[in-house]
Structure 1
Amino acid sequence: MKRLKPNRRQVLIAGAAAAVAGVAAAESATAADLYGSGVLGDWTVLSRAIATTATIAYARDHDGIYMFGDSIAVQDGKALATKLASRAGVSLAVHNWSGRPTAPAVDALENWATKYGLPRRILMATGTNDIFNPPVFAAQVDRTMKIVGPNRMVVWVNTQISRTAMSAAVQVADQRNSAWINSQIHDADKKYPNLRIVRWAEFLAAKPSLLTQCLREGVHTTVPYGQDARNELIVQALVAD
């Protein structure tokens, strides 16, 4: 797969269009659903994939990578680990949890930093579940960068959510809130030289057909096509000079 040049304009245009279309839906949102995407459920009971202590230590000591993600990462993490090992001989230690927003993912990062120490590369594949409360996201990016420090690289995968099983109004809110999350990642990119963005949303925006080819219900990747496309973008970002 060819490396894609960043195209922020596509994402901002899509987000702006969604924002205009979603004004009525946002105005009618209940107090519990301030942003139109609904309310986050109890993610603590959902599936997870967490590396063993031995795997964490190996990644730390052999120039590997720590990954913190959500349900997309739970699904795609094993294939990503295989791709990283075969492409660059790099090991991956994961802390992925379905339904989890970014704040507790950063809690997990902080815990590993204290308990194990950190390698030079951290992968944050989180933000999807922050569409339910977008304003809190930027502080968690700042918190991540503070934990990691200026001498390690953070690779952050941006978001594309528009759940096809939901109403048209919710789909519009999802897209608007995805763009909101992504704008906060882009703002952080200006502040932190050691932050690198995986532009998944821009990749999907490049051709309309990619949304259905790469996403099975507007969120999670299709397997193998979408999974391989997203993982390839992640690998490119992680192993780039």
Structure 2
Amino acid sequence: MKPNRRHVLMAGAVATVAAVATGEASTAQTAAASDPYGSGALGDWTILSHAIATEATITSVRDNDGVYMFGDSIAVQDGKALASQLIARTGKTIAVHNWSGRPTAPAVDALQNWAVRYGMPRRILMATGTNDIFNPPVFAAQVDRTMRIVGSQRTVVWVNVQCARTAKSAAVQLADQRNSAWINSQLSDASKKYSNLKVVRWAESLAASPAHLTTYLREGVHTSVPAGQTARNDLILQALLSN
């Protein structure tokens, strides 16, 4: 389903709608013909930076009530700090499979691989979805797929998304924002279907104060360090500790 107006506004008004006015209308119309969602095309994420836990860490996490984490570039940047916080609070560790630029489908492939090869702990953290802005309709099926893999006895903590790339044109920023809201709408709908799916509402946290968009984000996507990283990781940690 596509997001309604409330979902778009709740995700945070990073892209100013007023900026997409008469001067950019023809550009936006031309782009729409070859780019139906307006955010452009996903690049080759397989060549980008990544962080993947060793087999020893994975099995230790599985056996000692730790957390599996599957994420994108934000997770690559913030995952180590999150792991340190979790260890300090609980003594539990995180096994990461984080890859910059990766959309959700291959992240779920990685989850499937670990589930078959190693089994799973009781908590799975999905910090993925931002790179689905390039093709938002496919996201819901991947959430369903995740929940089938995990089953009903484990908890999935999923961070929702906020993207409006400030280096891009106002028209692209608006598309990024709209597509982020679309992804978040699908995730919210899924949480109503699955009682063991817990959404970390990062987008709503950013929208709660205009200052958050500039202090917690850099280039409209990744967290600033330390302010944004700490704010996002705190939300994630709260969700993990409550499940």
- What TM-score, normalized by structure 2, do the two folds share? 0.90
In structure 2, C-alpha distance between the alignment counterparts of 1:39 and 1:234, rounded to whole Å: 29
Displacement after TM superposition at 1:190 (Å)? 0.5
Q: In structure 2, what is the equivalent of residue 94 of structure 1?
A: 96
- SS of the aligned residue for 2:121 comes to coil
In structure 2, C-alpha distance between the alignment counterparts of 1:79 and 1:10, rounded to whole Å: 33
Task: Say yes or no: does 1:64 pair with 2:63.
Answer: no
In structure 2, C-alpha distance between the alignment counterparts of 1:12 and 1:169, rounded to whole Å: 15
Task: Say yes or no: does 1:197 pair with 2:193.
Answer: no
Task: Give the counterpart of 1:146 among 148, 152, 167.
Answer: 148
Task: Give the counterpart of 2:109 among 103, 107, 110.
Answer: 107
Worse-matched range after superposition: 49-58 or 83-92: 83-92
In structure 2, C-alpha distance between the alignment counterparts of 1:108 and 1:26, rounded to whole Å: 36
Q: Is the contact made by 2:65 and 2:122 (CA closer than 8 Å) also made in structure 1?
A: yes
Worse-matched range after superposition: 99-108 or 10-19: 10-19
Taking only the aligned residue pairs, the percentage that are identical comes to: 72
In structure 1, C-alpha distance between the alignment counterparts of 2:6 and 2:235, rounded to whole Å: 17
In structure 2, C-alpha distance between the alignment counterparts of 1:50 and 1:16, rounded to whole Å: 32
Q: 1:168 to 1:112 in 2, by over 3 A?
A: same
In structure 1, C-alpha distance between the alignment counterparts of 2:160 and 2:55, rounded to whole Å: 28
Task: Give the counterpart of 1:118 among 117, 120, 133.
Answer: 120
Task: Give the counterpart of 2:49 among 35, 47, 50.
Answer: 47
Q: CA RMSD in A?
A: 2.2
Task: Say yes or no: does 1:219 pair with 2:207.
Answer: no
- SS of the aligned residue for 1:28 comes to helix
Worse-matched range after superposition: 196-205 or 18-27: 18-27
Displacement after TM superposition at 1:10 (Å)? 6.6
Q: Is the contact made by 1:26 and 1:173 (CA closer than 8 Å) also made in structure 2?
A: no
CA deviation vs aligned residue, 1:76-129 (integer Å, no higher than 9, x gap): 000000000001211100000000000000000000000000000000000000
Worse-matched range after superposition: 191-200 or 11-20: 11-20
In structure 2, C-alpha distance between the alignment counterparts of 1:69 and 1:26, rounded to whole Å: 31
Displacement after TM superposition at 1:13 (Å)? 2.6
Q: Is the contact made by 1:134 and 1:181 (CA closer than 8 Å) also made in structure 2?
A: yes
Q: 1:10 to 1:201 in 2, by over 3 A?
A: farther
- SS of the aligned residue for 1:54 comes to helix
- SS of the aligned residue for 2:36 comes to coil
- What TM-score, normalized by structure 1, do the two folds share? 0.91
Q: Is the contact made by 2:8 and 2:178 (CA closer than 8 Å) also made in structure 1?
A: no
Q: In structure 2, what is the equivalent of residue 5 of structure 1?
A: none
Q: Is the contact made by 2:8 and 2:177 (CA closer than 8 Å) also made in structure 1?
A: no
Q: Is the contact made by 2:12 and 2:207 (CA closer than 8 Å) also made in structure 1?
A: no
Q: Is the contact made by 1:26 and 1:35 (CA closer than 8 Å) also made in structure 2?
A: no
Q: In structure 2, what is the equivalent of residue 13 of structure 1?
A: 9
Displacement after TM superposition at 1:154 (Å)? 0.1
Displacement after TM superposition at 1:19 (Å)? 11
Displacement after TM superposition at 1:15 (Å)? 5.8
CA deviation vs aligned residue, 1:175-219 (integer Å, no higher than 9, x gap): 000000000000000000000000000000000010000001100
Unaligned runs of 5+ in 1: 1-8
In structure 1, C-alpha distance between the alignment counterparts of 2:110 and 2:91, rounded to whole Å: 25
- SS of the aligned residue for 2:69 comes to strand
